[in-house]
Structure 1
Amino acid sequence: MSNVASSTGLVDLPTSVGGYAAVEFGPLVRTFARMVGGHPGAGGALTVRLRGEPLVEIYAGEAAPRRAWDADTGSIVFSATKGVAATVIHRLADRGLIDYDAPMAYYWPEFAANGKERITVRQVLSHRAGLYGLPAIARGLDDIIDHRMMEEHLAAAKPDHLLGIPTYHALTFGWLLAGLARAVTGRGMAELFRTEIAEPLGVDGIHLGTPPAGAPTSAAVLHGNRLSAVGVNYVSLALGRAYSLPGALGAAARALFLPGLDQLVEGDDPPILHTELGAGNGVCTATGLATLYGALANGGMHEGQRFLSPETIRAMRHVETYRLDHALFYIPMMWHMGYHSLPVPGARAGFGHIGLGGSFGWADPKLGLSVGFVHNRLGIGAMSLDQIASAWVLPLVVRGAHAARRTTALAQPVAA
């Protein structure tokens, strides 16, 4: 149990919620119970750490029919995976294997094709490579789940007219980073999630795709109607025709839609779990994400060990562009190298990455605070509310963290 948590006492949890939480996080626990634990068939988890110490580790609901959510339950976190993949690249850069301002082609010679010889690692990490479009590199689901082929197709691809402009690389981001990492290390991104992230941090709850047999982490089954509405013929036809539209609608369609892509998340064992999609198929526990972002929130340190250098942490904290994102309908994403900030209460000072459905990992270096939030609901009807989960989680987390710091400070003995 955390020294911080034990010195302040624990909140009485609702009967629907398991785990523990410091007493200052009572409002967060009650909101979590209502927002996450109140949906039959679904569940989720939330972990909060302050200066590396666990203050909250709670979970509720079902991971699958007749299987309760527990501390080792992970869920597909979709685009929150990008933050983990980016951290792999930062670990390699920290050892001098990658220079952010070097051309991608310096490490990955095939990438120089079709006028890409000057695109830098920094541009790729901040979604400015002009390589976000799916129709130019893939025909359907079979292509999407062949991650080695996707890396090759991106190496051969031609950037479009939005090169240099922030345009969310919704799926291509993961293959671009995987191709770079493979060129430098000779290893795939799933292996690097283990060797560069999970093992150095001493956690199991960070995987790319299905956790291996024998792993403590078990993957929750997605709950809801998923993306079935996107596969309806007239919707699919409309989205396909939107490819050629100017502005945000066309960019979003090219970045996010491909005929048959909705099938990627169908079934209890969906195809998304059986590939290496560094942009979207991480299977993470809340504690796994909070542990990773805890190192990023505390100067690169984890349990007294150096995970990243202070210089690399400063580079990661820097906002690369304040320009509005062209594929996300001009939302001010404030892209870092692999992460984003948010102009909402509790998030302005931090960075992390939110995924489809609202799962996320987050670091607030000013407070030394980290958060992991995961759940398994994925349905068109609930999507809008789930997607903005950070809007209630982060303010309540920050409020509780400030209260815990005050309580701990008051509890410190006064020097004679």
Structure 2
Amino acid sequence: MHGTVAAGYESVGAEFAKVVAGERADYAGQLVAYVRGEKVVDLWSGPGFTADTLTGVFSATKGAMSLVVALLVQDGVLDPDQRVSHYWPEFAAQGKRDITLREVLAHRAGVVGADAGFSLAELADDRLIAARMADQRPYWRPGTAYGYHAWVIGALAGEVVRRVTGQSIQELFEERIRAPYGLDFHLGLPEELEPRFVTTLPMLPTPEQQAEIDDWDSGPESLAAIAFNTHRTDAPELWDFPNQRIVRAQGQASAGGVASARGLAGMYAAASTGFDGRPPLLKPDTMAEFAQIQSIGYDVVSRVHKAFGLGFSAVTEFYPFLGQGAFGHSGAAGSLSLADPRSGLAYGYNRRRYAYPGGAAAENTDLLRTCVEAARTTH
């Protein structure tokens, strides 16, 4: 284990050491926390891993997408309750005329995938996804249920952003968020940073875990298969998606981001508290609106209990020791990043090997709880 912890955060270092000791020999991960703009935890471990190592962060990318949208709503440029077709007329096809931006961001639109699926080249390109989704019929009546728009939510929101501003989510993220704060989080990884990237490794489930995976697995034409694009035989495996240069280069806004834990935590610190003398990006009212639960309960795609705000995951539902109003997002390989405005915590965790069962790795519960407890007693 390498790195530093500030006085009062020794317990976080001890908890990370437990993770390192209890994991596989090839474990590699990073943990970073800011509290009220001060970096208090900066730890890493594993073969070939440093504080500067970059990995694909999968759906933690949705946090970056959501932050761009939140800024535009805060600016008065976008209205969550406006119809998507108002901004993007082609989207009105196939019964989608009245779907609002709020319903898209809350995973309530029903447009979770395409009947024919997406190739790798299509899945890496938000513009191509959006063009396909414009003529796609919803899989449920919009607003009556919700289900995870895993691969497409960034493209849907991104096309609205492009129609209104003339810029992509990736361009706005770079201009307004990444560059001003010097964040190690990229929606489109420059070629010169490629040497810092390490490939994600596949999950190696135990026989018992594999049985659970097989039991959950849906048929090839099920809603889950369409939403996760597994009905397309030439599509990449989920764990292998960020390992493709075309994905890293284009920074697809649903799952194509590349970051270190410093970048993950730094983005939420920039959003909620600011740091290095820079003010927070979001006003308290904007944070409260985007963190507020919009969808909760049974997710008809993932078939588990979930909770979403506007784009962000309502993380307090899964980590009840967080303060109300916390917001963030996990990533399939095990990453988790979030802001807890009440304690002032911004948290980022990243790992190289895909963790069972997907989404935030189990160790996040104890790591995050220890960070929150230290933040509340130290600051």
Q: Calculate the TM-score normalised by the size of structure 1.
A: 0.79
For residue 56 of structure 1, report the CA deviation from its aligned partner: 0.6
- What corresponds to 1:148 in structure 2? 127
Q: Which amino acid aligns with 2:177?
A: I
2:27–2:352 Cα contact (<8 Å) kept: yes
* Distance in 1, Cα, partners of 2:42 & 2:223: 39
* Distance in 1, Cα, partners of 2:96 & 2:156: 12
* Distance in 2, Cα, partners of 1:273 & 1:116: 31
Pair 1:61-2:46 in alignment: yes
2:335–2:359 Cα contact (<8 Å) kept: no
Pair 1:20-2:4 in alignment: yes
For residue 254 of structure 1, report the CA deviation from its aligned partner: 2.3
1:295–1:302 Cα contact (<8 Å) kept: no
* Distance in 1, Cα, partners of 2:359 & 2:307: 22
1:78–1:356 Cα contact (<8 Å) kept: yes
Pair 1:373-2:345 in alignment: no
Q: Superposed, which structure 2 residues align to 1:61-140 within 5 Å?
A: 61-62=46-47, 68-134=48-114, 136=115, 138-140=117-119
How many equivalent residue pairs?
364
Q: Deviations over 1:337-388 (max 9, x none)?
A: 0112233343463221011022011111111111011111126xx4469632
- Find 1:363's aligned residue among 322, 339, 343: 339
* Distance in 2, Cα, partners of 1:330 & 1:357: 18
Pair 1:208-2:198 in alignment: no
For residue 224 of structure 1, report the CA deviation from its aligned partner: 3.5
- What corresponds to 1:323 in structure 2? 297
Q: Judging changes above 3 Å, is the alpha-carbon distance between structure 1 residues 132 and 384 closer, same or farther for their aligned structure 2 residues?
A: closer
- Find 1:35's aligned residue among 19, 27, 44: 19
For residue 117 of structure 1, report the CA deviation from its aligned partner: 1.5
- Find 2:153's aligned residue among 161, 173, 185: 173
Q: Which amino acid aligns with 2:137?
A: K
Pair 1:352-2:328 in alignment: yes
* Distance in 2, Cα, partners of 1:36 & 1:270: 28
For residue 47 of structure 1, report the CA deviation from its aligned partner: 0.8
- What corresponds to 1:194 in structure 2? 174
1:141–1:264 Cα contact (<8 Å) kept: no
**Higher alpha-carbon Rg:** 1
Q: Calculate the TM-score normalised by the size of structure 2.
A: 0.86
- What corresponds to 2:223 in structure 1? 251
1:111–1:155 Cα contact (<8 Å) kept: yes
The SS at the match of 1:80 is helix
- What corresponds to 1:219 in structure 2? 197
Pair 1:343-2:318 in alignment: yes
2:111–2:138 Cα contact (<8 Å) kept: yes
2:35–2:343 Cα contact (<8 Å) kept: yes
* Identity over aligned pairs, percent: 29
For residue 216 of structure 1, report the CA deviation from its aligned partner: 9.7
The SS at the match of 2:54 is strand
Q: Which amino acid aligns with 2:96?
A: K
Which runs of 5 or more structure 1 residues have no equivalent in the other structure? 1-16, 63-67, 228-234, 244-249, 406-416
2:272–2:281 Cα contact (<8 Å) kept: no
Q: Judging changes above 3 Å, is the alpha-carbon distance between structure 1 residues 95 and 22 closer, same or farther for their aligned structure 2 residues?
A: same
Q: Judging changes above 3 Å, is the alpha-carbon distance between structure 1 residues 55 and 166 closer, same or farther for their aligned structure 2 residues?
A: same
- What corresponds to 2:253 in structure 1? 278
* Distance in 2, Cα, partners of 1:260 & 1:314: 41
2:201–2:239 Cα contact (<8 Å) kept: no
* Distance in 2, Cα, partners of 1:32 & 1:162: 45
- Find 1:334's aligned residue among 303, 307, 310: 307
2:203–2:353 Cα contact (<8 Å) kept: no
